[in-house]
Structure 1
């Protein structure tokens, strides 16, 4: 409520009320001076205060009315500027605002229009650079394959290989206890089942990374549906998929978006312990919108101790920014993870 009284409209009204107060004090001073010094018959204390009371009542009404009306145009123009800045913040750099007046607000609006045009040109430059980078990346594909193999080998050694070794040790221990301590052997076999499930999940995520980065000529919508169908066969996740079929994107944008989705689903498989994943991809006015969320464990933003999860989020953010887009992630422990990406198109 107090914020409302600090708006520009009430600032105008307050300025009129300040003028009313100063005018009232001035009139009162003049009339009292005349009354004291000259003492004319037509003026007395009663007539002075009746006149001032009527003046104050009429002036209050006029102050509120004139202040409200005169600030309306100013407030409306400032609201236009606020909406334009919000559009820029959301990545819609094609928005513009136009005023007929020749004043400071019009100058600010023109400067914001120029800023939007520059940002729009920068986005086009980024996308052009991304196309050039894509061509360069194809020529360096062999080196990337070697690097990816090395990374997968490290992940296999750090996760799956160690889990399989633990399975071997725990299984041997359970066999030795089978006759002597069957209850202990049963507990050890339950631990074996848990470790095996974790190793299976890790392996599915690694197999997801083995898919080709490129779509091999398929449209993005078809590639995503094929990826989801494959994951449905390999996991118990339930997918809620909404993808526009008439996406009009460059080859580079499609490959980046596809890789972002791969990375996100891999993180979900390996770390989220989720049962449901929601994926929305659609092309709005001047932008491509991607939403990915799950009902998994979630994590504390900025305090995630899992280096691999942080690396995956960093990779998705970098790919989004390469296309001139914005990347935002929301998550809390026990409340799932929500990722929103907007890319100008």
Structure 2
């Protein structure tokens, strides 16, 4: 009820009533002035009171009628504008409104029409950009898939296929020397065993890259633990884990971190010749700290920068930087390798909102 009394129509009625009240006081002042100064016989106090009452009744009725009539057109035009804004909010940007009058409300309608045209053009542009982004994403995924296949093919050729070729050569030599020199054949069999184990380790490391990047509904900590449990069943590497549950990372960031862990474990299996690996993931003050280390042979970082085998390190650094993280690696020959990552958790706010 109070809202209706504050509407435009009742504002018009109140304005007419204000005018009526002002006219009553003016007439009353005029009549009283004439009565005091001239005292005509026809102007008595009763006549003044009667005239004022008649004027109030007629003026009140006229104020109501004039307020409703004069505000009706304005209310209708404002309702049109309100309906148009509602249609805009529902996505019907093709709606337009036109007034025959040439006043400020008509100008407001023209501005709303212009706004609708601009919003419609922006929506079409956004749809076009979304389609182009989808095409680029498919192209990038295809290129990344091809590049990953090429890298796996190179690794298979450089590592596993060469080791298998060496195994076949050693087996043939062992077969020829078995009857003549059994001690030499025994040494060759030992070398064959070691090479086969190395080839097996290389193959398991390469198979890590064929695992799905997605965590399949698991959290980051759950995915890493499952990966470690799977590796424990397939290799002799010992693991030390301190993986805490991390809340606040978007899914895309978790997948990138999981992919970095896969790459790091693959490098440990293939190149480190380590007996023990340590993984620590701890949230602290709005960031996630990830530490991966091994007690393997280590390497000189300066030499790796010019070596093709540093591709994995470069990929891990790029993945970390894509999610706004900080990537550091330390290694020395004979002292193992240490990888440290610091990932901000504020990326969730930027992606999903507060």
Structures share a fold, TM > 0.5? Answer: yes
- The structural deviation recorded for 1:303 is 2.3
Which blocks of at least 5 consecutive residues in structure 1 are unaligned? 1-132
Deviations 1:90-115, CA, capped at 9 Å, x for gaps: xxxxxxxxxxxxxxxxxxxxxxxxxx
Name the structure 1 match of 2:251: 251
Match status 1:328 vs 2:303: no
Aligned to 1:79: none
Which structure carries more relative contact order (alpha carbon 8 Å, separation 6+)? 1
Partner of 1:218: 218
Matched, 1:275 2:275: yes
Q: CA deviation at 1:257?
A: 0.3
The offset of 1:182, in angstroms, is: 1.4
CA contact (8 A) 1:298 1:333 kept: yes
Quote how far apart the aligned CAs of 1:134 are.
11
Aligned residue runs from structure 1 range 98-109, under 5 A: none
Mapping of residues 134-153 of structure 1, within 5 Å: 137=137, 140-153=140-153
Give the superposition deviation at 1:305: 7.8
Q: Is the 8 A contact 2:325 2:344 kept in 1?
A: yes
The answer as to whether partners of 2:298 and 2:337 remain within 8 angstroms in 1 is yes
TM-score by length of 1: 0.58
Q: Is the 8 A contact 2:220 2:246 kept in 1?
A: no
- Identify the residue that residue 61 of structure 1 maps to in structure 2: none
Give the equivalent residue in structure 2 for 1:204. 204
- Give CA deviations for 1:39-87 in whole Å, capped at 9, x if unaligned: xxxxxxxxxxxxxxxxxxxxxxxxxxxxxxxxxxxxxxxxxxxxxxxxx
Unmatched runs of 5 consecutive residues or more in structure 2? 1-132, 346-354
Aligned to 1:9: none
1:169 counterpart residue number:
169
Q: Does structure 2 conserve the Cα–Cα contact (< 8 Å) formed by 1:290 and 1:342? A: yes
Tell me if structure 2 keeps the 8 A contact 1:327–1:339. Answer: yes
Say if 2:328 and 2:339, in contact at 8 Å, map to a contact too: yes
Answer whether contact 1:134 1:252 (CA < 8 A) is retained: no
Whether contact under 8 Å (1:243, 1:282) holds in the other structure is yes
CA distance 1:302–1:166, change in 2 (3 Å): same
Residue pair 1:167, 1:192 contacting (<8 A) in 2 also: yes
The equivalent of 2:105 in structure 1 is none
Aligned to 2:80: none
Give, in angstroms, the shift of residue 148 of structure 1. 2.3
- C-alpha distance in 2 between matches for 1:190 and 1:305: 35
Q: CA deviation at 1:280?
A: 0.8
CA distance in 1, matches of 2:308, 2:229: 25
Alpha-carbon distance in 2 for matches of 1:334, 1:200: 23
Q: Secondary structure at the match of 2:341?
A: strand
Superposed counterparts of 1:113-124, under 5 Å: none
The CA distance in 2 between the partners of 1:134 and 1:199, in whole Å, is: 40
Q: Would you say how many aligned residue pairs link Structure 1 and Structure 2?
A: 214
Contact 1:238 1:275 (C-alpha < 8 Å) held by counterparts:
yes
Deviation at 1:300, TM superposition (A): 1.7
Q: In the alignment, which residue of structure 2 is the partner of 1:70?
A: none
Aligned residues of 1:330 and 1:337 also touching (Cα < 8 A): yes
Q: 1:126-154: per-residue Cα shift (whole Å, max 9, x none)?
A: xxxxxxx9996577544433432332222
Distance 1:188 1:205 in 2: 26
Q: Does 1:238 align with 2:238?
A: yes
Q: Conserved in 2, the CA contact under 8 Å of 1:178 and 1:185?
A: yes
Larger radius of gyration: 2
- Aligned residue for 2:319? 319
